[in-house]
Structure formats: C-alpha cells, structure tokens
Amino acid sequence: MIKAQKLATKEWFRDLRDQTIKIFLEIENSNSSPKKINKFQIKKWKRKLEQGKDTGGGTMAIMHGEIFEKVGVNISTVYGKFNSRFKKQVSGASKTGKFWASGISVVAHMKSPHIPSFHFNTRYIVTENSWFGGGMDMTPSFINVKNKNALHNNLEAMCNKHSKKYYKKFSKQCEEYFYLPHRDETRGDGGIFFDHLNTDKFDRDFSFVKDVGKSFLTIAPEIIYKDIDKKWSDKDKIRQKIKRGRYAEFNLLYDRGTRFGLETGGNIDAILMSMPPEAIWK
C-alpha cells in the first residue's frame, strides 16, 4: 500500500518539476529583446551509502537569468536511517530511525526589485507514520497590497475546495513560521504552510498537495508578468538586497528544511539553493 503511495508522490513531484521548468523558461525567454536564451543547468546528486546501501538523492535545476536572477527547482527522494540525535525529533522515527522522504522545492529570486521572491515546496514523508508537508509564500521588497491579496485570494479559494478550515489554519501557520523574532518582523507576505498532514485519507491529502502545486504555477507567473516591464533604480535594487539579507538570516537561523538537510547529510548545494544570489548587510 505505502509502496504505491511512495511511487505516486515521487512521480507527481517530478511531473510538477517538469511543468515548473517549462513555465519558468517561457517567462525567462519572453523578454522582447533577449540577449540570449537562458536555460536551467541540471545537476544530479547521490547521498552517501549507508552500510553499502543506496540512500537516494536528487536532481537540482538552477538558472541564472535576466528575469529570474537565481531560481532553483529541486526534487529529491531520500531514505535510510536518521542519526540517533535527530530520530527523536521526527514523528514515528524514534524507534528504528528509518525514513523515506520525497519532495519538490522551488525558490525564485527575481532580478526586478518590484517582483517578490517565491518559495514553494511540498513533500511526502514516511517513517512508522506518513504525512505531507509544504506550502508556498512570497517575499516582496516593497509593500504591494494587490499582489498580497492576489496570492491570498488564490490560496483561500484553492484551500476551500478541500476543507473550509485549511486556509485559516495554514495561512496562520505560515505567518508564524516565516517570522524573524530577532527583528520582530515577518519574512514577507505569508502564504500557506502545513506539516504532518494526514487525515487518514491518502487520496484526499494527495489531491490537496497537488492543488498547492497547481496554485503556485498559476499565481507566481501571474504576479511576475504583471511587473515584468517595470523599471527600477539602483536604490530599489539595494533595498531588495537588504531584504535578501533578512531572507538569508531566516534560512540559516530558523528554517527547519535547512536544518533537516544539514542533519540528514543532504547535498549542500541543494540545501542552500534557497540562498539569495546577492545580499547586503549595511
């Protein structure tokens, strides 16, 4: 049973990766006067063997372009045993430490300071328990109420198709999660964030997770295209880079995904793919 679920989720994350790359390439190369056609660089990586056994790996796709200053679209499927310290922290892993996890993670840092950064990921994790996690959120350098509303309206409508409780709960969790206590500020405009999602109906949860991905591929391009031709000044760009410093602070000080990656010996380039291309600390 769980074998079919692993296969189905893994395949979906790969399909979604392919769709994301296709749509992002269209955006990147939609520029009316392109200097060159930009492409994603693909890098495969493997985790270290554990007692001679394969432990999975992943595929990174990264592009440095004119619209996307730096964008990463990563998928990975990893398995094996957590270390003795970490296994106590993961639901259903405290006894044997055995785990299986597959997911997709996307971070887009845009060249234009008028276009927000986007972060999206969804994952399926199996220990003695199994659950979905993920979400998407948006980090602008300038307040833009229209964009924020567009994001939240889209996510609310999508969530409501699955449960009337989801949007309220998951958007609140997002606000709480992407928060920098040392600066008493949120990382950005929020979005939705969920973890340990298991309603005992796999198909139902999986259908929601797929819809989160589809929402991301609707809303992100919409917001990007809206301001794609808007000019910016050096001052705007500096403001964006300072905001990116906060992004780096969040990822390294607090992000559980980063900690998970470091603890499980993931590929360091894949884990830190989310870091901004250029950041400033004044």
Using rule CB under 8 A, residue 3 touches a second copy: no
Kindly indicate which of the ranges 48-56, 202-210, 229-237, 240-248 contains the residues binding a second copy, using the contact rule CB under 8 A: 240-248
Using rule CB under 8 A, residue 242 touches a second copy: no
Nearest in space to 80 (alpha carbons), one of 127, 45, 122, 44: 127
Minimal distance in Å, beta carbon 63 to a second copy? Answer: 12
Torsion-angle region of 37 (φ positive above 0: left; ψ -120 to 50: alpha; else: beta): beta
Sheet holding 98-110, edge to edge: 41-46, 56-63, 68-81, 98-110, 117-126, 130-139, 191-197
Using rule CB under 8 A, residue 280 touches a second copy: yes
Residues classed as catalytic: 119
Instruction: Pick between residue 210 and residue 259 the one whose CB is nearest to a second copy.
Output: 259
- Look at the chain and count its residues: 282
Using rule CB under 8 A, residue 277 touches a second copy: yes
Asked if residues 76 and 58 have their Cβ atoms less than 8 Å apart, the reply is: yes
Using rule CB under 8 A, residue 248 touches a second copy: yes
Minimal distance in Å, beta carbon 247 to a second copy? Answer: 10
Q: Token digits for 75?
A: 């998928």
Using rule CB under 8 A, residue 257 touches a second copy: no
Using rule CB under 8 A, residue 282 touches a second copy: yes
Nearest in space to 142 (alpha carbons), one of 207, 239, 33, 277: 239
Asked if residues 278 and 243 have their Cβ atoms less than 8 Å apart, the reply is: no
Using rule CB under 8 A, residue 83 touches a second copy: no
Binding mask 161-200 for a second copy (x = CB under 8 A): --------------------xxx-----------------
Using rule CB under 8 A, residue 245 touches a second copy: yes
Q: Token digits for 47?
A: 């985790």
Q: Which of 78, 262, 264, 270 binds a second copy (CB under 8 A)?
A: 262
Hey, which residues does 104 pair with through a beta bridge? 75, 122
Q: Give the footprint of a second copy on this chain (CB under 8 A).
A: 70, 181-183, 241, 245, 248-249, 252-253, 262, 268, 271-272, 275-282
